[in-house]
Structure formats: structure tokens, C-alpha cells
Amino acid sequence: MWVGEAWPNPELLAVDPSVPTNPIKWSLVLDPGASQSGGISAFGAGCFDDSADVPGHNELWFTLRGKFDPVTRDVLLDKVYERPAPNGEVVKYAGKLHALNGPFELTGTWRNETHGTEGTWSCQLVDGSTGNVAG
């Protein structure tokens, strides 16, 4: 489980202060072995349980799919929203896996072309059995 936040760019907030900071709570696998075949080497899923984006639905579900390069530690992800979210909505994440402060961490930038929003993000790997940051 990866836990963190995605923040809108300050320049974006100056124009539209309603763009929220969103939580990151992802079940995500980075598979270094799959990267050699050129296929999907980063995959997972998650949900927002307090969304107000789709009337009558508090939860929005999404899948995560993309690529992880074990040599450069680059991660590219598409967060694809599932029904009842609008069809085709994708948030693109580009980041890097590192462990500068001990625990594994992903940091980078995100972009939602549908809404014209973008920003930065960071999340840490959490040990599911204890709720502690894994190191």
C-alpha cells in the first residue's frame, strides 16, 4: 500500500483555488521482471471514498497501469477512472522510486488533461500488517 498526497501546482491554485489536494492510497505493484518484456510493469488500483465528482456516487474507483524501469527507477502511470466516472478520464503520473529517507518513496508530477490540471505528488510504501512506513 502506497500512501501520500497529490498537490495542485501553486500557479493553478492562484487561478482556481477550488482544485483540491487529493489523497493517494494505492495498492500498487512495481514488477522489475516484467519491465524486461516491455509490458505493463506497474499496476494496481484504488478509490476515493469522499468524491463529489459524480452525482449520487461518493466513491470513484480507478486502476493504475504503466511502466517501472528498475535501472533508472522511473515510474510512469496512467490512473484510469472506472464507471460511473466520465469515460476516458486519465491522470498521468511520472515519477521516481527512491529511498533517500529510509522508506521506499515515489515522487513526481501529475497531469489531468481532461480538466487542465497538474501538480506534484509523493507517497510512501506502508507495511499493511502494521500501518508503518516500510523501509
> Per-residue pLDDT tens for 27-62?
999 998 886 777 789 999 998 775 555 556 567 788
For each of the domains in the chain, give its residue range(s) and CATH number, in order of start.
2-125 (2.40.128)
- Cell of residue 97, nine digits: 522510486
> pLDDT at residue 132 above 90?
no
pTM: 0.85
* Residue 26 near residue 123 (C-beta atoms within 8 A): yes
Q: How many CB atoms lie within 10 A of CB 125?
A: 20
Residues 109-131 pLDDT 10s: 999 988 889 999 999 999 754 44
Averaged pLDDT, 65-84? 90
pLDDT at residue 75 is higher than 90: yes
Residue recorded with cell 484504488: 46
